[in-house]
Chain A
């Protein structure tokens, strides 16, 4: 049974950085890419990027280029999302999601429960 367990709520000041985690279990970790998606209050889902858990390769949405870093630790089946220079507009629930298709970035299939990050002075 697939599980994606995300780290807990965070509160950050503007200008700071965040690093949240997503620990996977129940499947072959390096066989499926991981997506990161966020939802700001009252807004829709926003795709942030994709991490190839086997090679470590990344594909970031243009909007976040220069501010986002996605990494993984294959020894613990954990992926990480770092976002720097935080501003109030980054207040959101951040979701990790396992890809539908092995070794392909087709689409998110199974989602974690989300991590709430609040950016406030």
Chain B
């Protein structure tokens, strides 16, 4: 199996920048994807291929990756960004994929 590690929780005030990290051995060679998941709703893809933003996702969402760590950045977080965030990626040999354990982002 393959493991991706995220912090359980991050908390910011509205307008501040939130950074959520995702650590994985294969991230130097494999891209990361990020999902926003609000209770009772379907997950939403907010970042793909480390840094790309799907259409319709606000510009305050961005991504970066360096070495074994990918980071989701929410610049000027809004109350509506309060949600669980998951990273997703695969191992170096494309044998296993995984979601990170999830990070609860609190914006208040």
Interface residues of A (CB under 8 A from B): 37, 44-47, 61-63, 95, 97, 100, 106-114
Contacts and interface: CB of A to CB of B under 8 A. Distances in A.
Contact of B43 (A61, A95, A106): A95
A45 B45 contact: no
A89 B43 CA distance: 21
Interface stretch (B13-21, B61-69, B73-81, B91-99): B91-99
Contacts, number: 50
Contact of B45 (A46, A109, A112, A113): A109
Contacts of B48: 100, 106-107, 109
A107 B1 CA distance: 17
B102 A62 contact: no
B98 A47 contact: yes
Interface residues of B, number: 21
Contacts of A61: 96
Contacts of A62: 1, 96
Q: What 3 A-B pairs are tightest by C-beta distance, nearest first?
A: A111-B42, A44-B102, A107-B33
A44 B45 contact: no
A81 to B, nearest CB: 16
A21 B13 CA distance: 41
